[in-house]
């Protein structure tokens, strides 16, 4: 399983790198190492942020989404069925509303875990890399076109990351172990994939929540909807001037938020009975 996860991440990085080099060359006449040097030197103005995010979206489409589809097509069933994109009752989006409500309730806890994660001892190089990425996100999200940001940073990741991590990886882990181990391990793989070590804990929790939504409904689309809602909420908040890492209201929202999440998950489970592990 590990080689397949690594293979997906490597495929993403290859497609991302090729797309970034082409975008920088075509639009800025910066080819090869000159493109990366320009990006590395542009940490203050972020003039080249949009090619980075566009290349990231292309990398996710080709390296995660398409790769997951190709892997699933080589299993014993059709790719849509293996990825849980089909629904026997004709209601593939059933449960999406509860999944979205649950992840909205989870947001305050995720933000709190992010602050706790950032306080843990960590090499300075990792902290600096995360700080650069955080500054890049903040600049783009607060100033870029909202529709473009939603497309590149909410729609594409929600579809492609779910196809790979919850559609294929989780399904393979379930086949080789228990549902609980598949939920935990696929969530951890999702957290590692982002290479943001000051956010590893909250991203893992988000991944585990999405994995549970897929397992309990046996559908991928509710997780896609919840993933989109999570990303879109942070993007809109940043566009409105809020720090993407801090929700309005503070930590006091954690307890009521968890009440909402638990209630939503109970409704999700009641609507779509979970299969045996």
Q: What is the pLDDT of residue 277?
A: 36
Identify the domain containing residue 263 by its residue range: 2-271
Is 83 domain-assigned?
yes
Q: What is the pLDDT of residue 2?
A: 82
Q: What is the pLDDT of residue 276?
A: 36
Is 276 domain-assigned?
no
Q: What is the pLDDT of residue 274?
A: 44
Tokens 């299969």, residue?
A: 275
Q: What is the pLDDT of residue 249?
A: 56
Whole-number CA gyration radius for the chain: 19
Is 277 domain-assigned?
no
Is 45 domain-assigned?
yes
Backbone angles phi, psi at 172, to 5 degrees: -65, -40
Q: Is the pTM of this model over 0.85?
A: yes
| pLDDT tens, residue order, the chain (277 aa) | 788 888 999 999 999 999 999 999 999 999 989 888 888 776 555 678 888 899 999 999 999 999 999 999 998 788 999 999 987 777 778 899 999 999 999 999 998 898 889 888 888 888 887 877 777 777 777 777 899 999 999 999 999 999 999 999 999 999 988 999 999 999 999 999 988 888 899 999 999 999 999 999 999 999 999 999 999 998 998 888 776 556 555 678 899 999 999 999 999 987 654 443 3
- H-type alpha helices, the chain: 2-28, 33-40, 49-60, 66-73, 79-82, 96-119, 124-143, 146-150, 156-161, 170-176, 179-193, 200-217, 221-239, 254-271
Q: Give the list of residues 6+ apart from residue 16 with CB closer than 8 angstroms, or none.
A: 55, 56, 58, 59, 60, 63
Question: How far is the C-alpha of 169 from the C-alpha of 186, rounded, in Å?
Answer: 7
3-class secondary structure for 30-96? CCCHHHHHHHHCCCCCCCCHHHHHHHHHHHHHHHHHHHHHHHHHCCCCCHHHHCCCCCCCCCCCCCH
In contact, 120 and 24? CB cutoff 8 Å: no
Question: How far is the C-alpha of 203 from the C-alpha of 189, rounded, in Å?
Answer: 10
Domain count of the chain?
Answer: 1
Is 218 domain-assigned?
yes
Q: Give the list of residues 6+ apart from residue 21 with CB closer than 8 angstroms, or none.
A: 31, 32, 35
Is 26 domain-assigned?
yes
Q: What is the pLDDT of residue 187?
A: 96
């Amino acid at each position: 399983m590990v080689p397949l996860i690594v293979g997906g991440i490597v495929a993403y990085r290859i497609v991302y790198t090729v797309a970034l080099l082409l975008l920088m060359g075509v639009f800025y006449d910066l080819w090869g190492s000159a493109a990366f040097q320009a990006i590395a030197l542009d940490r203050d103005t972020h003039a080249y942020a949009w090619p980075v995010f566009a290349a990231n979206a292309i990398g996710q489409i080709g390296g995660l989404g398409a790769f997951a589809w190709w892997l699933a097509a080589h299993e014993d069933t059709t790719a849509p069925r293996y990825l849980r994109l089909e629904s026997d009752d004709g209601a593939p989006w059933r449960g999406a509303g509860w999944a979205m409500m649950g992840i909205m309730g989870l947001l305050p806890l995720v933000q709190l875990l992010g602050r706790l994660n950032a306080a843990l001892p960590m090499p300075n190089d990792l902290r600096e890399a995360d700080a650069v990425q955080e500054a890049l996100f903040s600049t783009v999200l607060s100033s870029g076109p909202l529709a473009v940001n939603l497309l590149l940073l909410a729609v594409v990741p929600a579809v492609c990351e779910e196809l790979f991590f919850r559609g294929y990886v989780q399904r393979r882990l379930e086949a080789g172990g228990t549902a609980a181990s598949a939920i935990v391990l696929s969530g951890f793989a999702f957290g590692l994939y982002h290479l943001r070590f000051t956010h590893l804990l909250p991203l893992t929790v988000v991944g585990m929540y999405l994995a549970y939504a897929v397992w309990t409904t046996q559908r991928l689309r509710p997780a896609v909807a919840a993933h989109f809602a999570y990303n879109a909420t942070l993007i809109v908040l940043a566009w409105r001037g809020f720090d993407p890492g801090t929700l309005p209201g503070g930590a006091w929202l954690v307890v009521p938020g968890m009440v909402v999440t638990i209630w939503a998950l109970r409704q999700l489970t009641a609507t779509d009975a979970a299969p045996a592990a």
